[in-house]
């Protein structure tokens, strides 16, 4: 039923795209919009991962260039009974992450340098497990297609501002164009929100079960949200229709970008994880280490708050985490 509802919402997004085309160009415009939507979906199916990763300047890493991160993803993927996804790092100070790819066999997990630098090992494991849950649920293709169509709706709605009418005087007119520019992206946002809310809660639950500690993810969500309001993600600001792919909304909320704030409330997500923790238990032991070491820094072996400046990924080198 969840997938049926999601399919219906995606169909609604395509219908909205066709409706915008109809308002601008009549029946021919609707037909062209349908063809464009189909072509976009086919293109996105085969190129979604490369398209989004390139948009955010993500660099692929392996067991040699980022051994700790790569080993963590491999272990969690094994727990989730998933093929090993490709692993990427985005050079961005805002802590955040997303997954992409058309299926589990062609998936990728991307995390920012800010995420690796600011979260503990346990919190990072919770985030990675959440993204793997999206892959296991086949959400990655859906979210990328949704972002593509929603972005196109916003673009064509703004394009419609230049058409007060066509040769047959069937255009939306000036008032109609203004309404189109405002209401079409709003409608796309509502559909995105409906899809995102369902998928995020499901990924939270499965991610918590994959890592075995719901409160690791809950703590990570709190930390990421607090930082996201303070550290801008300029790449996401330039492509707000992709914001729903991240674990926490990366947008600052300024200007019109907040129309694409499709994530559920972090308070509600944390409350759900707390209830799940009460159901499945969990002693809070550190990921891959004895519980007695859980208060130490995530990678460098230094106690948290010790002031160590060494990067947890570069091995003390001044180069980036991918060399």
Q: Is 105 annotated as a binding residue?
A: no
Q: ∠265-267-269 over CA atoms, to 5°? A: 70
Residue 323: per-residue pLDDT? 30
Sheet containing strand 59-61, strands side by side: 59-61, 86-90, 107-112, 97-101
**Marked catalytic residue, from 131, 205, 225, 237:** 131
244 is in an annotated binding site: no
Q: What is the pLDDT of residue 196?
A: 64
The predicted pLDDT at position 50 comes to: 87
Q: Are strands 86-90 and 59-61 parallel, antiparallel or unpaired?
A: antiparallel
- pLDDT score of 277: 94
Q: pLDDT by residue for the chain (323 residues), tens digit each?
A: 456 655 666 677 777 777 777 777 778 877 887 787 778 777 777 877 888 899 999 999 999 999 999 999 999 999 999 999 999 999 999 999 999 988 899 999 999 999 999 999 999 999 999 999 999 998 887 777 776 676 667 666 666 555 544 445 455 556 655 666 666 666 666 666 666 667 889 999 999 999 999 999 999 999 999 998 889 899 988 877 778 789 998 986 544 444 445 678 899 999 999 999 999 875 444 455 433 443 333 433 333 333 333 333 333 333 333 33
The answer to whether 134 is a known ligand-binding residue is: yes
44-69 burial code (b ≥16 CB/10 A, e <16): beeebbebbbeebebbebeeebbebb
Mark whether 123 is an active-site residue.
Answer: no
How far apart, in whole angstroms, are the C-alpha atoms of residue 313 and residue 137? Answer: 30
């Amino acid at each position: 039923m969840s997938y049926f509802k999601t399919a219906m919402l995606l169909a609604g997004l395509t219908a909205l795209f066709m409706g915008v085309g109809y308002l601008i160009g009549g029946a021919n415009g609707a037909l062209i919009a349908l063809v464009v939507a189909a072509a976009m979906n086919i293109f996105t199916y085969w190129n979604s991962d490369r398209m989004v990763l390139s948009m955010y300047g993500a660099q692929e890493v392996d067991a040699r260039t980022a051994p700790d991160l790569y080993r963590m993803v491999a272990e969690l993927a094994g727990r989730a009974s998933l093929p090993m996804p490709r692993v990427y790092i985005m050079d961005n100070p805002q802590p955040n992450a997303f997954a992409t790819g058309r299926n589990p066999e062609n998936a990728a997990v991307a995390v920012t340098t800010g995420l690796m630098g600011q979260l503990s090992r346990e919190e990072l494991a919770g985030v990675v497990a959440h993204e793997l849950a999206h892959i296991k649920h086949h959400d990655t293709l859906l979210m990328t297609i949704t972002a593509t169509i929603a972005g196109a709706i916003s673009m064509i709605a703004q394009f419609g501002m230049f058409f007060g009418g066509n040769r047959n005087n069937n255009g939306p007119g000036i008032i109609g164009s203004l309404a189109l520019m405002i209401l079409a992206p709003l409608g796309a946002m509502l559909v995105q929100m409906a899809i995102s809310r369902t998928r995020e809660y499901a990924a939270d639950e499965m991610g918590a079960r994959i890592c075995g500690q719901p409160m690791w993810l809950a703590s990570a969500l709190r930390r990421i949200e607090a930082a996201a309001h303070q550290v801008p993600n300029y790449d996401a600001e330039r492509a707000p229709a992709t914001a729903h792919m991240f674990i926490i909304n990366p947008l600052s909320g300024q200007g019109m970008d907040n129309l694409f704030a499709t994530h559920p409330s972090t308070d509600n997500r944390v409350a759900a994880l707390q209830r799940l923790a009460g159901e499945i238990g969990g002693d809070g032991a550190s990921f891959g280490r004895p519980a007695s070491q859980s208060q130490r820094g995530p990678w460098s072996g230094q106690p948290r708050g010790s002031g160590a400046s060494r990067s947890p990924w570069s091995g003390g080198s001044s180069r980036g985490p991918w060399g």
